[in-house]
Amino acid sequence: MPELPEVETVRRTLEHLVLGKRIDRVTILYEKIIQTDLLDFEKINGQVIHEIKRMGKHLIFMLDHDVLLIHLRMEGRFFYKKEHQEIKKHEHVIIHFSDHDILTYHDVRKFGTMHLIPKDKYLDEGPLKLLGPEPSSLTEDELYHKVHIRKTEIKAILLDQHVISGLGNIYVDETLFRAKIHPTRKGNELSLEEVTRILYAAREVLLKAISLGGTTIRTFEAMDGVHGRFQNELLVHTKEGEPCPVCGNLIIKMKVKGRGTYVCETCQI
């Protein structure tokens, strides 16, 4: 699944391709991806893309009057091509520009979503309304208060986008390893010092991953042919049975709230 660094890489790639372009029309081949009434969605026609932002794992296309909000979910990605080029299987939404270039949204699992929301309401309506702040926007005390009231596992807390946004399975594993915190520890049992370690580790992991274009595992690509390199920096995630890079004991895989989780039970306590 694309996480914050992967989505940021997509955002930066798209900026070079579509800023300033006028949307001529949109062809929708799989309607369930569009979360806005289809007639209202037609308001996108004729609008110009002025800026592309990101909040958590959401892409935000700033248009003339509206915001196109996109969540890639498990396997969403984009292809940029000329209008005459073949539309392939699983390309479900096609944005046609006035210069005859197109941007297609490709999603094998069809889990991605698109909302068209008025520009003055996009922070108060739709998916962003309850989205938590990113690690870079949180103080140690703020995260501690969010975590300390929860009696569930710290991994589950960090995956909750209402608590803190942008972290997914890969980066939570890497964060907790660097912070030396076991993923099954309960939030209400963690000290301020431990939560501070988690916050600093999350920032470090995300910044490093962004600088390397994200992590390419399984099918993720930022755009056609654009792959991240952070998978070469992973310390525990996917490393089951390999020696811990710190202590040399074997990394194990367990389930935490149904999510595959990689941990060194010597270093993480």
CB distance 172 to 209 below 8 Å: no
CB distance 98 to 24 below 8 Å: yes
Rounded distance, CA 130 to CA 144, Å?
19
Full DSSP string of 164-196: SSS--HHHHHHHHHHHT--TTSBGGG--HHHHH
CB distance 52 to 15 below 8 Å: yes
Active site (annotated) includes residue 3 = yes
Which position among 240, 253, 259, 265 bears the catalytic label? 259
Which position among 5, 57, 91, 146 bears the catalytic label? 57
Which position among 2, 5, 127, 135 bears the catalytic label? 2
Active site (annotated) includes residue 2 = yes
Residue whose structure tokens are 């803190």 = 164
Phi, psi (degrees; rounded to nearest 5) at 102? -135, 155
Residue whose structure tokens are 């579509």 = 18
SS3 of residue 12 by DSSP: helix
Rounded distance, CA 264 to CA 255, Å?
14
Positions marked active-site = 2-3, 57, 259
